[in-house]
């Protein structure tokens, strides 16, 4: 088990490049694998979750090369060129891999078993299985949890599906299955969730599969290999954005951060709280907008976070909760029940951790209330959740004494260089495999 100790820090005055976006990296591999021809992915995140996706396709006969760090080439086999894997596909801790692959594999003509670590096997898959079953997929599960047995299917049928809750993973699973379905698949969301799959499909496809009110996918889509440039991950950048806001005297520049409008709600939320964040050098990476972010130390104030911003910041709420803990006043989060079915129950994990550090925080069924104050030192449990661990590591930088974080192994799933980059920009974090040594 990995333990972290984060000690109070001074200003963050630096420039940093954050690793590639995890969500986009997954999707680039998946589309590249079922496209015709070669796909070159530049800036790919080489974290454990993405590598799990890459390894899964290698087991299904897809050629992969890593010519240099951060670059992967994928030799596409076409939509129907995948081979039956000789063993179950172990996806580690990656919920994105499992949910999206369930959709992609539902229309294959061979059987596949998807499994993962104990955390992943406890996460609900029923909301993916349900729409795919409506399309004709044959999926067996353990009470709607992994391992999943996806049986070979002769043909899927397009459906009209209205998502009960906005979820990019469920939407993407149905989209990928729709590429193998006869007729048209139509998807309607209650509110917009991240649209990386739509943008990636537009890059690989010969036509735009979108309608005015519903997302529409046709089974006759032709996919062609591309050069994909992956932006730096805004979810990873958010930890350092909050750190720079909270540490007096900070001025931090973060390079080539993805600012997809379905993902940048964290910037809106922090700006509403008083954060000083500016954008420069706006570019386009494979249908994804990117820019450099400049962050200055700021006085933050508690707010009622808009439900409309929840889906666009769902992965950033652990670090938003730390910002709220150091802000003046009360921050209220609602409409975020999705946080309870992430790598951990992130509502309970953050409330428990903040309370252990002297902050007044309480749960609601779909959110939390946090009253800002002085974060104290202490020990917290990350519950094996990478984003909880990194959030409390940043909290240590502004705490009155050091914070010890237990069970931080899974940081490598999304941000393997987190501790190294954090220390380069001015935080003070150490790690050990024993609590006695930290």
Instruction: Map residue 303 onto helix, strand or coil.
Output: coil
| 276-285/288-296 β-pairing | antiparallel
Cα–Cα distance, 143 to 124 (Å, whole number):
9
Cα–Cα distance, 77 to 59 (Å, whole number):
13
Active site residue 315: yes
Cα–Cα distance, 324 to 301 (Å, whole number):
8
Let me know if 262 is exposed, middle or buried by CB neighbors in 10 A (0-12, 13-18, 19+).
middle
DSSP string, 108-160: SSS-EEEE--HHHHTS--HHHHHHHHHTT-EEEEETTEEEEEEE--S-EE--E
In what helix (H) or strand (E) does residue 330 lie, and over which residues does it extend?
Answer: strand 330-333
Beta bridge partners of 332: 304, 369
Nearest CA to 228 out of 24, 5, 419, 434 is that of: 24
Q: Which two tokens stand for residue 369?
A: 């209330």
| 330-333/367-371 β-pairing | antiparallel
Given the residues 21, 195, 264, 315, the one annotated as active site? 315
Nearest CA to 52 out of 1, 132, 117, 7 is that of: 117
Cα–Cα distance, 311 to 366 (Å, whole number):
13
Beta bridge partners of 139: 150
Is the alpha carbon torsion for 410, 414, 420, 425 positive or negative? negative
- The residue whose two tokens read 């997809």 is 260
Contacts of 229 (CB under 8 A, 6+ apart): 42, 43, 285, 286
Contact 247, 12 (CB under 8 A): yes
Q: Which two tokens stand for residue 51?
A: 């590598």
Phi, then psi, of 238 in degrees rounded to 5? -55, -30
Nearest CA to 125 out of 386, 313, 341, 310 is that of: 341
Instruction: Map residue 53 onto helix, strand or coil.
Output: helix
Nearest CA to 117 out of 144, 90, 99 is that of: 90
Give the residue numbers marked as catalytic: 315
């Amino acid at each position: 088990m990995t333990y972290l100790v984060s000690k109070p820090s001074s200003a963050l005055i630096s420039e940093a490049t954050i690793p590639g976006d995890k969500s986009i990296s997954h999707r680039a591999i998946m589309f590249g694998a079922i496209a015709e021809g070669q796909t070159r992915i530049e800036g790919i995140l080489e974290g454990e979750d993405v590598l799990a996706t890459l390894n899964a396709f290698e087991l299904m006969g897809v050629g992969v090369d890593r010519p240099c760090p951060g670059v992967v080439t994928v030799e596409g086999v076409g939509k129907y060129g995948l081979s039956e894997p000789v063993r179950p596909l172990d996806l580690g801790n990656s919920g994105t891999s499992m949910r999206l692959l369930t959709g992609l594999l539902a229309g294959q003509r061979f059987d596949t078993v998807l499994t993962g670590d104990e955390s992943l096997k406890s996460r609900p898959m029923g909301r993916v299985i349900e729409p795919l079953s409506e399309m004709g997929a044959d999926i067996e599960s353990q009470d709607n949890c992994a391992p999943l047995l996806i049986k070979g299917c002769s043909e899927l049928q397009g459906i009209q599906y209205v998502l009960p809750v906005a979820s990019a993973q469920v939407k993407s699973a149905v989209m990928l299955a729709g590429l193998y379905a006869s007729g048209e698949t139509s998807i309607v969301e209650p509110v917009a969730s991240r649209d990386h799959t739509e943008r990636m499909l537009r890059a690989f496809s010969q036509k735009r599969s979108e309608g005015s009110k519903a997302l529409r996918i046709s089974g006759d889509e032709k996919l062609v290999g591309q050069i994909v440039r992956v932006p730096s991950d805004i979810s990873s950048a958010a930890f350092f954005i909050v750190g720079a806001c909270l540490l007096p005297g900070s001025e931090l520049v973060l390079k080539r951060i993805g600012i997809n409008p379905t993902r940048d709600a964290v910037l809106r939320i922090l700006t509403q709280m008083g954060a000083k964040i500016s954008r420069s050098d706006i570019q386009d990476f494979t249908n994804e907008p990117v820019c450099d972010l400049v962050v200055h130390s700021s006085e933050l104030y508690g707010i009622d976070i808009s439900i409309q911003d929840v889906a666009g910041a769902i992965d950033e709420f652990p670090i938003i909760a730390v910002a709220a803990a150091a802000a003046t006043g009360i921050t209220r989060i609602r409409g975020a029940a999705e946080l309870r079915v992430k790598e951990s129950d992130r509502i309970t994990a953050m409330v428990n951790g903040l309370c252990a550090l002297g902050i007044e925080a309480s749960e609601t069924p779909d959110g939390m209330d946090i009253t800002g104050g002085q974060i104290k030192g202490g020990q917290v449990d990350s519950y094996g959740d990478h984003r909880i661990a990194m959030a409390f590591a940043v909290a240590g930088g502004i705490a009155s004494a050091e914070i010890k974080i237990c069970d931080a192994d899974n940081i490598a799933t999304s941000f393997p260089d987190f501790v190294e980059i954090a220390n380069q920009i001015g935080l003070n974090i150490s790690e050990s495999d024993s609590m006695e040594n930290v």
